[in-house]
């Protein structure tokens, strides 16, 4: 009888290096307050954002992802031909196929690595880290590249006061590989599609195509471009009601206590949300809290790796510290895990 030789699992995994790329343009609050009839003071009080980064017109989402990927490979001391899988979280890539992950793999020289995209909005990066951990631990891969990238500016309505003024462009990436001791805890994740309306795209691409056809017949060219909207108060309520518990579950799953956490890296959604979650968790006073949103804005799937990259680059956090990271967003998708910083 023919037998199948099982793949040998490894003892543990860890993040070997992180990298990032932020949109080239620094967009101040004063530049965007006119269309939303607001002020720099109002935006800072409501969100903590002073500036956000947005990409130049000629900078594609592929360009950003490749830059972050190469930066993470350099930080990890890994070459692209050592990557077995590329996982990429995004909701702002306009081409349904092929996957952006496959194009990134080709651009960096990781072909024929397996490659696929993850559509989990702001939780996409943490979804990717969870999958990378499982792939490496099981022996299916030795090194996995996880990228979170968004060109949110392509989905902005300048007159929208619900979310557009929060959004920025950027890419963050991490390389996950084997470790003698576990450096990535179990992922606590989930979603609630019943709340799909809390953060959503205003129109489908099919509706856009239909309108474009009607406009062509009518001899006009005006169509309403799909943008992102959110029900801010409802999102805030969901986060406060759910995220602290998700965070506690991730810490418990890692066999730790909240007092063991050195660094807290939540999705950079809103500084008020971050402050409230920190308060509810009762973290140690000396815990480093990521606040990259103040200068970069909300970059969805890219926000957690970008925040991590900043903390390490600026020396606010250091290698070996224990970090709790948690992403949450549209579809009310969420994912959290404890990681050892590279």
Distances (CA, A) of 306 to 39, 148, 188, 194, 313: 27, 9, 21, 30, 10
> What is the C-alpha separation between 309 and 313, in angstroms, rounded?
6
Q: Which residues contact 85 (CB under 8 A, 6 or more apart)?
A: 113, 114, 115, 132, 135, 140, 141, 144, 145
Which residue has 């099982």 as its token pair?
6
> What is the C-alpha separation between 108 and 105, in angstroms, rounded?
5
> Could you say which of 29, 70, 270, 298 is catalytic?
298
Please state, as a whole number, how many other Cβ atoms lie within 10 Å of the Cβ of residue 34: 10
Is 126 designated active site?
A: no
Is 143 designated active site?
A: no
Cβ–Cβ < 8 Å for 167, 269 = no
> Could you say which of 70, 122, 126, 270 is catalytic?
122
> What is the C-alpha separation between 237 and 222, in angstroms, rounded?
37
Give how far the C-alpha of residue 29 lies from the chain's centroid of Cα atoms, to the nearest Å. 23
- What is the chain's alpha carbon radius of gyration, rounded to the nearest angstrom? 20
**How would you label 207-244 residue by residue, b for 16+ Cβ within 10 Å and e otherwise?**
eeeeeeeeeeeeeeeebeebbbbbbbeebbebbeeebb
> What is the C-alpha separation between 341 and 176, in angstroms, rounded?
11
Residue by residue, DSSP assigns 222-266 as ------EEE-HHHHHHHHHHHHHHHHHHHHHHTT--GGG--EEEE
> Could you say which of 29, 70, 267, 270 is catalytic?
267
Cβ–Cβ < 8 Å for 277, 247 = yes
Give how far the C-alpha of residue 245 lies from the chain's centroid of Cα atoms, to the nearest Å. 20
Cβ–Cβ < 8 Å for 149, 253 = no
> What is the C-alpha separation between 89 and 87, in angstroms, rounded?
7
Tell me the β-bridge partners of 327: 335
Is 298 designated active site?
A: yes
> Which positions are catalytic?
122, 267, 298
């Amino acid at each position: 009888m023919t037998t199948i030789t099982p793949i040998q699992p490894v003892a543990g995994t860890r993040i070997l290096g992180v990298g990032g790329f932020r949109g080239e343009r620094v967009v101040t609050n004063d530049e965007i307050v006119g269309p939303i009839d607001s002020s720099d003071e109002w935006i800072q009080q409501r969100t903590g954002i002073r500036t956000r980064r947005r990409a130049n017109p000629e900078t594609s989402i592929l360009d950003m992802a490749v830059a972050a990927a190469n930066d993470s490979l350099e930080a990890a001391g890994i070459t692209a031909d050592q990557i077995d899988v590329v996982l990429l979280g995004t909701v702002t890539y306009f081409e349904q196929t092929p996957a952006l992950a496959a194009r990134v793999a080709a651009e960096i020289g990781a072909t024929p690595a397996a490659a696929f995209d993850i559509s989990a909005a702001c939780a996409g990066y943490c979804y990717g880290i969870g999958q990378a951990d499982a792939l490496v631990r099981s022996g299916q891969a030795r090194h996995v590249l996880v990228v979170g990238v968004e060109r949110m500016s392509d989905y902005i309505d300048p007159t929208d006061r619900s979310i557009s003024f929060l959004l920025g462009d950027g890419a963050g990436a991490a390389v996950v590989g084997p470790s003698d001791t576990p450096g990535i805890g179990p992922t606590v994740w989930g979603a609630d599609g019943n709340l799909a309306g809390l953060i959503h795209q205003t129109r489908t691409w099919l509706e856009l195509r239909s309108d474009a056809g009607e406009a062509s017949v009518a001899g006009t060219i005006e169509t309403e471009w799909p943008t992102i909207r959110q029900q801010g108060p409802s999102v805030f309520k969901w986060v406060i009601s759910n995220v602290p518990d998700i965070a506690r579950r991730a810490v418990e799953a890692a066999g730790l206590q909240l007092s063991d956490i050195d660094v807290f890296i939540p999705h950079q959604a809103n500084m008020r949300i971050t402050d409230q979650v920190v308060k509810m968790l009762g973290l140690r006073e000396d815990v480093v809290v990521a606040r990259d949103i103040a200068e970069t804005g909300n970059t969805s799937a890219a926000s957690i790796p970008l925040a991590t990259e900043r903390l390490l680059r600026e020396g606010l956090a250091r290698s070996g510290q224990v970090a709790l990271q948690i992403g949450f967003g549209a579809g009310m998708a969420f994912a959290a895990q404890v990681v050892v910083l590279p």
